[in-house]
């Protein structure tokens, strides 16, 4: 069992012990009269468990997150430049080092060699690669002496780190244990302390949302910076072509991808906005309760269908159907030869539009319903027909909200992945022909980050820059849309 899990179990046992001891002690110091206690005995116990476990576990978590980073930084500085092969990077060497180090740990754990024997290993005398392969740890190439040395260093530092971790965390837990058990006296306000502790946990949970955002931004920002070190930013933002080439010298411009993304999104919105809006108008202004009860949930099923299903629908149903209409020459329905493959801007756009219909319609439905009935009455009372009322009073009043809904739908369309991965194609180009295959930002992120990836080449790292752009784009749309919708709602609240 690993040191970490042993440590966790020890802390938990100590906490349980603390719980019982503290509640016992509280009762006994009160002379067995529970009414003399400030709080229920449970709270004295919980207080002890909390002070034993939480600081220790918190430090443990931070330690586990920080230690690999520190160790790696130390090791990195010791790796000589000559170890980095042509066309490779320090990152790859580092992952070799890590693999060798992890492998050696396995060697010790399985009992193939003893701890001391592994420390004396030498590339001259032992085939490390074979040794590691014997315990199921695969290393790409033969292990060089420097890599072995770095790996040994890595192991030593990790061991040292773990030792310190135990030396710090165990006393921490013990101190918390002792203090909180001793504090269990009738005058101690245990409930207030426990509640403050719980509140702190609640705050922590709520700030996880912020942490996630920071995680998203930083994870993409760091790799994007690495990318811009390897690739000129002018090409990324202003270049004209997208042609990744894994031997280097790629054209990596976002513009053709952005064009594909926007083109497909526009087609999707052309389908989804009128259909969704009219559906919402009909459902909220005309439909009888029975029709509404039946049509609304059915439409909303479209929103619950996973995007992979829409992707398959685009690739295998809508695409071929469009080819039958616009392609195949003489055999086609129109005798045209405009469309050659099932994947095309129109395919992806149409299917994405279908996916967005319920999104637009339920948002607009909410917004139209927020328009006060008194406005409708006012208009109808003047002798306007329902459609005049809707077009000239309800829709203008709801306009900001509807604009917000459309922006939200646009942000969904831009960030949608599966439909375009399967339905849009992989060719990056500027073309106005909706029957051609084109590609999008999300598709390229998927293709650059799946399969064999090398986190030192611009061809892989570009995905992070693309992701960051996508994030900023959708975030911008969302912020604006949510702001508009919020202002709109305040107007009628």
Partner 1 sequence: MTDAIQKPEKKKSSLLQLDARTRTRNAAETRFKAYGMIAIAFGLLMLSILVFNIVTRGAGAYQQTFVALEVELLAGKLDKKGNRDLDDIKKVSTFGYTPLLSNALEAKVIELGIETDLKAKKMVGILSKSAAAQVRDYVLNNPNKIGETIGFEFLASSRVDGYLKGRVNRDSIGNDKNISPAQLDLVDALKAEGSLAKRFNMSFITGSDASDARPEAAGMGTSMIGSFFMMLVVLVLALPIGVAASIYLEEFAPKNWITDIIEVNISNLAAVPSIVFGILGLAVFINYMHLPNSAPLVGGLVLTLMTLPTIIISTRASLKAVPPSIRDAALGVGASKMQSVFHHVLPLAAPGILTGTIIGLAQALGETAPLLLIGMVGFIASNPPDSIATGLLSPNSAMPAQIYEWAKRADPAFYERAWGGIIILLVFLVTMNTIAVILRRRFERRW
Partner 2 sequence: MNDKNIMESHMGTTAIKISARDVQVYYGDNHAIKDVSIDIEDKTVTAFIGPSGCGKSTFLRCLNRMNDTIDICKVTGSIRIDDEDIYDRRVDPVQLRAKVGMVFQKPNPFPKSIYDNVAYGPRIHGLAQNKADLDEIVERALRRGAIWNEVKDRLQSPGTGLSGGQQQRLCIARAVATEPEVLLMDEPCSALDPIATAQVEELIDELRQSFSVVIVTHSMQQAARVSQKTAFFHLGNMVEYGETGQIFTTPQDPRTESYITGRIG
Binding site for partner 2 (CB under 8 A): 288-289, 372, 374-385, 388, 392-393, 396-397
Instruction: Using the CB atoms, write b or e for 215-254: b if 16+ within 10 Å.
Output: eeeeebeebbebbeeebeeebbeebeebebeeeeebbbbb
Residues in the chain: 493
Q: Are 200 and 434 in contact (CB under 8 A)?
A: no
Q: Are 272 and 360 in contact (CB under 8 A)?
A: yes
State yes or no: residue 66 binds partner 1 (CB under 8 A): no
Least separation in angstroms between CB 276 and partner 2: 23
Candidate list 53, 422, 456, 484; residue touching partner 1; CB under 8 A: 422
State yes or no: residue 3 binds partner 1 (CB under 8 A): no
Least separation in angstroms between CB 187 and partner 1: 18
State yes or no: residue 390 binds partner 1 (CB under 8 A): yes
Stretch that binds partner 1, among 53-61, 64-72, 155-163, 332-340 (CB under 8 A): 64-72
Nearer to partner 2 among residue 174 and residue 395 (C-beta): 395
From the list partner 2, partner 1, none, partner contacted by residue 80 (C-beta under 5 to 8 A by kind): none
State yes or no: residue 61 binds partner 1 (CB under 8 A): no
From the list partner 2, partner 1, none, partner contacted by residue 455 (C-beta under 5 to 8 A by kind): partner 1
Maximum Cα–Cα distance across the chain: 99
Contact mark string toward partner 1, 391..420, x via CB under 8 A: x----------------x--xx-xxxxx--
Q: Which residues contact 179 (CB under 8 A, 6 or more apart)?
A: 51
Candidate list 32, 304, 490, 493; residue touching partner 1; CB under 8 A: 304
d(CA 310, CA 445): 19
From the list partner 1, partner 2, none, partner contacted by residue 99 (C-beta under 5 to 8 A by kind): none
How would DSSP label each residue in 172-220?
A: HHHHHHHHHHHH-STTS-HHHHHHHHHHHHHHHHHHHHHHHHHHHHHHH
From the list partner 1, partner 2, none, partner contacted by residue 228 (C-beta under 5 to 8 A by kind): none
Burial of 110 (0-12, 13-18, 19+ CB in 10 A): exposed
Least separation in angstroms between CB 289 and partner 2: 7
- Crossing angle for the helix pair 345-370 and 395-415, to the nearest 10 degrees: 140
Residues in 239-278 at the binding interface with partner 1, rule: CB under 8 A? 274-278
d(CA 272, CA 430): 24
State yes or no: residue 158 binds partner 1 (CB under 8 A): no
Which helix or strand (DSSP H or E) is residue 388 part of?
helix 386-389
Q: Are 342 and 384 in contact (CB under 8 A)?
A: no
State yes or no: residue 6 binds partner 1 (CB under 8 A): no
Stretch that binds partner 1, among 15-23, 80-88, 127-135, 353-361 (CB under 8 A): 353-361
Put residue 273 in one of left, alpha, beta given phi > 0 → left and psi -120 to 50 → alpha: alpha
Q: Which of 422, 436, 432 is nearest to 341 (CA)?
A: 436
Nearer to partner 1 among residue 177 and residue 467 (C-beta): 467
Residues in 309-348 at the binding interface with partner 1, rule: CB under 8 A? 309, 311-313, 315-317
From the list partner 2, partner 1, none, partner contacted by residue 397 (C-beta under 5 to 8 A by kind): partner 2
Nearer to partner 2 among residue 401 and residue 423 (C-beta): 401
């Amino acid at each position: 069992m690993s040191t970490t899990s042993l440590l966790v179990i020890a802390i938990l046992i100590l906490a349980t012990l603390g719980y019982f001891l503290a509640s016992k002690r509280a009762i006994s110091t009160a002379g067995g009269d529970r009414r003399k206690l400030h709080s229920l005995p449970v709270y004295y116990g919980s207080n002890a468990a909390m002070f034993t476990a939480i600081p220790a576990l918190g430090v443990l978590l931070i330690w586990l997150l920080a230690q690999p980073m520190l160790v790696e930084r130390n090791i990195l500085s010791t790796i000589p430049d000559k170890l980095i092969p042509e066309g490779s990077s320090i990152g790859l060497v580092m992952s070799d080092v890590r693999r060798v180090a992890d492998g050696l740990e396995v060697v010790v754990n399985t009992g193939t060699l003893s701890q001391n024997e592994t420390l004396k290993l030498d590339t001259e005398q032992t085939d490390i690669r074979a040794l590691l392969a014997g315990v199921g740890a695969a290393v790409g190439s033969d292990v060089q002496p420097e890599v072995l040395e770095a790996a040994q260093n890595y192991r030593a530092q990790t061991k040292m780190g773990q030792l310190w971790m135990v030396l710090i965390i165990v006393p921490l837990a013990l101190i918390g244990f002792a203090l909180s058990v001793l504090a269990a006296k009738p005058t101690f306000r245990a409930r207030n302390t426990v509640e403050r502790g719980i509140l702190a946990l609640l705050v922590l949970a709520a700030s996880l949302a912020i942490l996630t955002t920071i995680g998203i931004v930083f994870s993409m920002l760091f790799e994007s910076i690495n990318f811009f070190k390897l690739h000129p930013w002018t090409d990324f933002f202003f270049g004209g072509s997208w042609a990744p080439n894994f031997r280097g010298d790629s054209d990596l411009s976002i513009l053709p991808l952005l064009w594909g993304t926007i083109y497909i999104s526009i087609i999707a919105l052309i389908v989804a906005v009128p259909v969704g809006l009219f559906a919402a108008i009909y459902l909220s202004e005309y439909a009888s309760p029975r029709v509404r009860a039946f049509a609304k949930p059915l439409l909303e099923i479209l929103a619950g269908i996973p995007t992979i299903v829409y992707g398959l629908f685009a690739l295998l149903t809508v695409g071929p159907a469009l080819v039958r209409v616009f392609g195949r020459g003489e055999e086609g329905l129109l005798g045209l030869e405009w469309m050659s493959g099932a994947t095309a801007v129109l395919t992806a756009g149409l299917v994405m539009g279908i996916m967005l219909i319920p999104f637009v319609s339920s948002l607009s439905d909410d917004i139209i319903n927020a328009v006060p009935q008194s406005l409708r009455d006012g208009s109808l009372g003047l002798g306007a027909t329902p459609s005049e009322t809707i077009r000239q009073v309800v829709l203008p009043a709801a306009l900001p909200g509807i604009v917000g809904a459309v922006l939200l739908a646009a942000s969904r369309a831009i960030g949608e992945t599966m439909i375009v991965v399967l339905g849009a194609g992989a060719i990056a180009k500027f073309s106005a022909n909706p029957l051609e295959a084109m590609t999008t930002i999300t598709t390229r992120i998927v293709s650059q980050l799946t399969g064999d990836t090398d986190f030192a080449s611009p061809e892989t790292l570009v995905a992070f820059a693309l992701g960051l752009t996508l994030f900023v784009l959708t975030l911008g749309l969302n912020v604006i849309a949510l702001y508009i919708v919020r202002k709109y709602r305040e107007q009628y609240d």
